[in-house]
A and B are shown apart, each in its own frame.
Chain A
């Protein structure tokens, strides 16, 4: 057992207009955030293919965040987030069937004005994933059959 605490590596898929802006503001305002969350910017959460989340886990992510504009009225493109909330519940169930615990995947809405909410999410989610331990999906792919 290593004496280093496990540092989760979390990938966040954020929409440009809302959550990315909030994250930007949180950073500029020096709000306290752990370094564990890496952000991938998309124009809209509607661009997020479920395959991206699976890819993130396959590459080694311990947790994944998806966040965009609040429905029903905030989406910069009107209804991109509608497609997101149709896709995410089904993806959640798929992940559970794959054996990836619900606590490793968070999807929700943070508007551009809610920078503190983003900072809090990075803190809370990092701890939540830390408690679940490493996922290390590559390990089971690369392991040789004994």
Chain B
């Protein structure tokens, strides 16, 4: 706590989309309360503090750091270590920091193939000299260094010691507020806990009516118009809700879109995608090997479907690399 009794707060964005920043703003009038009770020392999107300001702070100067975004580059990692050093409590804020989220899908590829796609192959690219980013480049003014783009995306927890995890893509405002209140009241659970989310999976919050499951055919969401009162999974649409931590209020199923799994793994899972895969295939209505293989064969892109948000935090972390660091 600062001498003025205010909480010293820092927020940082690593490899992310900015949605977690918007989520803070979504606190709406409550942001004024945040302003009352906290001093925001570092928040790149909103205030003009610099890295050197953070480096100048004493260790553990920051009370709470809300760190969102995955670790994609060396800069992300550097700040992860720096902010850990300077913070009492480091919170992995949002799904990217928690389980990898959408940037994590980069783990289906490697640096080289991503660069080639982005800088050479993409239809709207105009790069006749075929220039790819380098960590070091000579320019008339001298040498320029840019952060290294890692081969593999990592979660915050995979590079640093994290105190709390607040999942969501983005975390829901009411959940963020609940965590802030808990921090202010000094009422936090044991270190390493997931906060701002439920113990049960999304199904517990979902209003659709569920029945015993027997799936004869899988549909993608654009292939059928689902019954809006019945469980989407019952109707053959792969909904990650049963395998995803709840707390969001089942927002997506409420508008008849299947849950995508953004709040990440449920408490006891060791691998979110594998748990969902097991559930989805177990209830296939097939009593012969041929029929079973045929029905599950209809699922396009298993890894993208089951690991959309959690690939870096899965057991295998990423697609295999060969000796040269390339996807095999």
Contacts and interface: CB of A to CB of B under 8 A. Distances in A.
A and B touch in the complex (CB under 8 A): yes
A19 to B, nearest CB: 17
Interface in B257-300: 269-271, 273-275, 277-278, 280-282, 284, 286-289, 292-293, 296-297, 299
Contact of B316 (A85, A98, A146): A98
Contacts of B315: 51, 54-55, 57-58
B314 interface: yes
A125 to B, nearest CB: 20
Contact of A87 (B108, B278, B327): B278
Nearest to B304: A97
Contacts, number: 98
A89 B277 contact: no
Nearest to A71: B289
Contact of B270 (A55, A72, A90, A94): A55
Interface stretch (B18-26, B37-45, B97-105, B144-152): B144-152
Interface stretch (B4-12, B80-88, B193-201, B318-326): B318-326
Interface residues of B, number: 42
Interface residues of A, number: 29
A87 B281 contact: yes
A93 interface: yes
A89 B287 contact: no
A97 B319 contact: yes
Contacts of B271: 51, 54-55
Interface of A: 49-51, 54-55, 57-58, 71-72, 82-83, 85-87, 89-91, 93-94, 97-100, 135, 137, 140-141, 145-146
26 contacts: A50-B277, A50-B278, A51-B269, A51-B274, A54-B271, A57-B316, A58-B316, A72-B288, A82-B287, A85-B289, A85-B292, A87-B278, A89-B296, A94-B302, A97-B302, A98-B320, A99-B327, A99-B328, A100-B320, A135-B320, A137-B320, A140-B152, A141-B317, A145-B150, A145-B151, A146-B325
